[in-house]
Amino acid sequence: MHSIKKIYIIILLTGISLALSDCSVEKNTGASRFYHSLTSRYNIYFNGYESFKAGLAKINTSYSDDFSELLRVFEYSDPSTASMCSSDMEKAIQKASKVISLKSISARPEPGKKREISETDRRFLEQKEYNKWVDDSYLLIGKARFYRHEFDEAESVFNHCISEANDENIKTEAMIWLARIANENGNYRESERILKEIEERPAMNRSLKAMFHTTKTDLYLKQEKYNEAAGSLSEALKFISGKRTRYRLTYLLAQLYERDGNSAMATSLYRKVIKMNPPYEVEFNAMINIAGIFDINSGNPEEIRKDLEKMLRDSKNADF
């Protein structure tokens, strides 16, 4: 099914290319906007975003959590992750830059023959960019620079997104990335300022809410404000959908409750992690932590004993 869809897209793009071969980025018409938006999304930008995702996947497979310490909110906080994804992020930057250089439409369209221009028309005519994938490409470049730990370059790109992008969601996401840069640089007051400003912006979608609350959690953890971090992380988990992120951050939340002496809540969260069917190393450490904080007055010792005996019989534990 996927290959059929891909063939269909190729045929469609070929047909459009032939029909609209005179479409230039110098001409801002409905046809040129459609053509350059479509070819940006399904050709250049798509390939760049695939490279970006490949870089993230390499971090996920190469990075190892230290379960003897509080988990990091974000793996990228470990400087070693920059080299894991560097080549893929460079490819993403190259593709996104190509969208910007070849597909940008900045010329204003003719307003038409209407005697009066509506407010919607006026806002449309005042845009600085008429191919939405150009704004997305700038954001992609900023994120790729960020994962390469090129924070100064990333900051410059995100500031461009905030000042130039048409999409409010792109502006908000760029602001969140600026807060993350501030966190990585230890500039916590700046991060707090940005996050407060974001709270005053239009309502965020679920993805942005997850980004916002995890960024705030990271800020609190870096300042060793553990109670605040637990509250923010609990809020973030309401909006996080990815399995890996969910079990990692649920594990971190359990660690925070354990650190605070709330054994019952920590145990409940560690068991929740186990039910998510995470990699064996995560399950193993969650079970060990449950045993370590077991309360004889409120827990079931027989259940703990059976779980531990099962782990001892498992050949996977040879490495532990």
Sign of the dihedral through C-alpha 133, 136, 140, 141: positive
Helix, strand, or coil here: 84? Answer: helix
For 18-60, the pLDDT digits (tens) are 454 555 555 555 555 566 566 666 778 899 999 999 999 999 9
Cβ-proximal residues to 20 (8 Å cutoff; 6+ apart), any chain: 31, 32, 35
For 182-212, the pLDDT digits (tens) are 999 999 999 999 999 999 988 899 999 999 9
State the DSSP string of 176-201: HHHHHHHHHTT-HHHHHHHHHHHHTS
Answer yes or no: are the C-beta atoms of 131 and 104 closer than 8 Å: yes
The residue whose two tokens read 């930008």 is 45
Instruction: Encode the chain (320 residues) as per-residue pLDDT tens digits.
Output: 565 466 446 545 554 554 545 555 555 555 555 665 666 667 788 999 999 999 999 999 999 999 999 999 999 999 999 999 999 999 999 999 998 887 666 546 666 555 566 556 556 555 676 678 889 999 999 999 999 999 999 999 999 999 999 899 999 999 999 999 999 999 999 999 999 999 998 889 999 999 999 999 999 999 999 999 999 999 999 999 999 999 999 999 999 999 999 999 999 999 999 999 999 999 999 999 998 887 544 555 666 666 666 666 565 555 55
Q: How far is CA 186 from CA 65, 158, 251, in A?
A: 22, 18, 25
Q: For the whole model, what pTM was predicted?
A: 0.83
Please report which helix (H) or strand (E) contains residue 34, including its range: helix 30-39
Sign of the dihedral through C-alpha 286, 78, 244, 55: negative
For 296-314, the pLDDT digits (tens) are 445 556 666 666 666 665 6
Specify the pLDDT at position 164: 93
